[in-house]
Structure 1
Amino acid sequence: MSINKPSIAPKPTDSEPSRSPLLRLLSQPRIVVPALKVALVVGSILNLINSGEKLWNQHSINLWQVGLNFVVPFCVSSYSAARNDLRRQRGE
């Protein structure tokens, strides 16, 4: 005899987007490749703005900050592209 345990995870409502289609879209090359290009351009510009003087004067730089200058634009670009694609598929 098995006992059914209640699910802990909340069920998505109509106004709340389902996470699995969004995660699937985030791994698509048509989302990832343009997001990498955006991250390369925007991250390079941010690094020049934030660490340009240190680089020019050959001082040490914070590698954590350099990495974040590339990761954040990638995340923003890929999320917004996937979210727009999901909304387009749903006809919103």
Structure 2
Amino acid sequence: MQGFFSTVFSRPIVIGALRVSFVVGCVLNLINQGEALLAGAGISWGHVVLNFLVPYAVSSYSAARNQLTNRAAP
């Protein structure tokens, strides 16, 4: 488990996950709250956070699992 966490928090994976999170989070916010943004209404900040956090978590997890699987393969 230690190897997994050190891999997840390695610089290349964090940077890649942040990039994915930024792009996907922006798209999700436009889809989920676009109408409120265009109308000038208030937005749900909890949803904004989740729209960025979930893609970050998925991207970093899958990159770390892929890297660990490739290391273990002969």
TM-score by length of 2: 0.97
Query: Identity of paired residues, percent?
Result: 45
The superposition leaves residues 67-92 of structure 1 with CA deviations (integer Å, 9 ceiling, x where unpaired) of: 10000000000000000000001117
Q: Distance in 2 between matches of 1:55 and 1:21?
A: 42
Partner of 2:57: 75
Counterpart for residue 40 of structure 1: 22
- Tell me the distance in 2 between the aligned counterparts of 1:27 and 1:77: 12
What is the CA deviation profile of residues 31-84 of structure 1, one whole-angstrom value per residue up to 9, with x for unaligned ones? 100100000000000000000000000001110001100000000000000000
Distance in 2 between residues matched to 1:27 and 1:66, nearest whole Å: 23
Which of the pair has the greater relative contact order for Cα pairs under 8 Å at 6+ separation?
2
Matched pairs, number:
74
Higher helix share: 2
Mapped partners of 1:20, 1:91: distance in 2:
19
C-alpha separation in 1, matches of 2:9 and 2:51: 21
Aligned to 1:75, the other structure's residue is in SS state helix
Task: State the 4+ residue runs in structure 1 displaced beyond 2 angstroms.
Answer: none
Q: What residue is the counterpart of 2:42 in the other structure?
A: 60
Gaps (5+ residues) in structure 1? Answer: 1-18
SS across alignment from 1:59: coil
**Take 1:20 and 1:69, find their aligned partners in 2: how far apart are those partners?**
28
